[in-house]
Amino acid sequence: MKTLILIAAALVAAPVLAFAAPAPAWSVDKSASKLGFASSFGGAPFSGAFRRWDATIRFDPRNLAGSSVTATIDAASAATGDKDRDQALPSDSFFAVAKFPRATFTATRFRALGGGRYAADGTLTLRGVAKPLTLPFSLAITGKQAHMTASLAVNRLAFGVGQGEWKATEAIPAAVNVTIDLTARQAP
């Protein structure tokens, strides 16, 4: 009978033990962080950044199961420094911000790759299209401060960024390089 009670108790406790406690929260230092992108137009390279974005981050290298991130990007805040391009980006031909004002990246699965490198498996939603995305990143944590960098190619056409004449890749390549340079402090 004792054995039966121990087995029953173990079965009841197992789901509770398998649930990971949330990792600590981190606050983005926006003045020291940048979300950038780079591509080319007619063979001439250009770069830009999203001026307004935020991220809700819970991360602990020792508790990857309890880690998560949700980044929200104001699509209308894309700026490249070129007046014509900056006016075109919010239009229906590209980000269609009137209908899709925000892009989001949400990840709840993290993998350690060794040497301060990780991968965040999640979903990128851009222009109303949600696709799985793995974000490889490097992270250094010193005390209560973290510095994360990442770079990856995103296929703009998979999200409908580039309509009409801009679907063709002769003028603008399909792959856009996205870079993240983020500094955050652990929340008290």
- Check residue 19 and give its pLDDT: 55
Read off the DSSP letter of residue 111.
E
pTM of the model: 0.87
User: What are the chain's domains?
Assistant: 21-186 (2.40.128.110)
pLDDT confidence tier of residue 16, bands split at 50, 70 and 90:
very low
**C-alpha dihedral (156, 162, 167, 168), degrees to nearest 10:** -80
Averaged pLDDT score across all residues of the chain: 92
pLDDT confidence tier of residue 188, bands split at 50, 70 and 90:
confident
Determine the average pLDDT of the residues in 131-135: 98
pLDDT at 1 over 70: no
pLDDT at 3 over 70: no
Read off the DSSP letter of residue 42.
T
Determine the average pLDDT of the residues in 118-144: 98
Buried b (16+ CB within 10 A) or exposed e, 89-118: bbeeebbbbeebeebebbbeebeeeeeeeb
Lowest mean pLDDT among 7-21, 86-100, 152-166: 7-21
